[in-house]
């Protein structure tokens, strides 16, 4: 972090400032995002940092991300076709885009 400073001296300085840092042994870190996709951090280096009553984590490693695949059922496609009169292909594409039955119907009804 700072060239030429002894790591033990750095830890002491951080402790004086009220900052504590602890390494957490981990094999894998998984972050599930709100959009349904997942981030995997393989061979991570995980540090828990406490400062001024706040806790945070610093994570580094090999990152791989998987996007969520939207499952479209035939029943959903049929429902969109029935409500909007569009083709099955257009219903499928709109459902894949929106990920939501009601939203697909509204979009195709405009």
Q: Is the whole model's pTM more than 0.85, yes or no?
A: no
- Same structural domain for residues 26 and 60? yes
Q: What is the structure's pLDDT at 68?
A: 76
- Same structural domain for residues 51 and 78? no
- Same structural domain for residues 34 and 58? yes
- Same structural domain for residues 47 and 85? no
Cα–Cα distance, 31 to 70 (Å, whole number) = 19
> Which positions ≥6 away from 67 have C-beta within 8 Å?
36, 37
For residue 95, give the CATH number of its domain: 1.10.8
Residue 5 lies in a domain: no
Low-confidence ranges of the chain (pLDDT < 70): 1-3
Q: What is the structure's pLDDT at 3?
A: 67
Q: How many domains does the chain contain in total?
A: 2
- Give the relative orientation of helices 88-98 and 101-109 as an angle to the nearest 10 degrees: 120
CA distance readout (Å), 33 to 37, 40, 50, 67, 70? 5, 11, 24, 10, 15
DSSP state for residue 70 in the 8-state scheme: P
Shortest CA distance to 65 belongs to which of 94, 90, 33? 33
Q: What is the structure's pLDDT at 12?
A: 86
Structure tokens at 105: 């119907």
pLDDT tens string 9-33: 888 888 889 899 999 999 999 999 9
Q: Note down the domain range covering 31.
A: 20-66
Residue 6 lies in a domain: no
């Amino acid at each position: 972090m700072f060239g030429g400073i002894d790591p033990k001296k750095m830890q002491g300085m951080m402790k004086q400032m009220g900052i504590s840092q602890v390494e957490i042994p981990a094999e894998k870190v998984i972050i599930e995002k709100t959009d349904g996709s997942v981030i995997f951090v393989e061979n991570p280096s995980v540090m828990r940092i406490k400062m001024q009553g706040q806790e945070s984590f610093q994570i580094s490693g090999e990152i791989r991300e998987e996007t969520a695949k939207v499952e479209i059922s035939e029943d959903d496609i049929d429902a969109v076709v029935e409500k909007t009169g569009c083709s099955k292909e257009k219903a499928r594409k709109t459902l894949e885009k929106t990920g939501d039955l009601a939203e697909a119907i509204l979009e195709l009804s405009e």
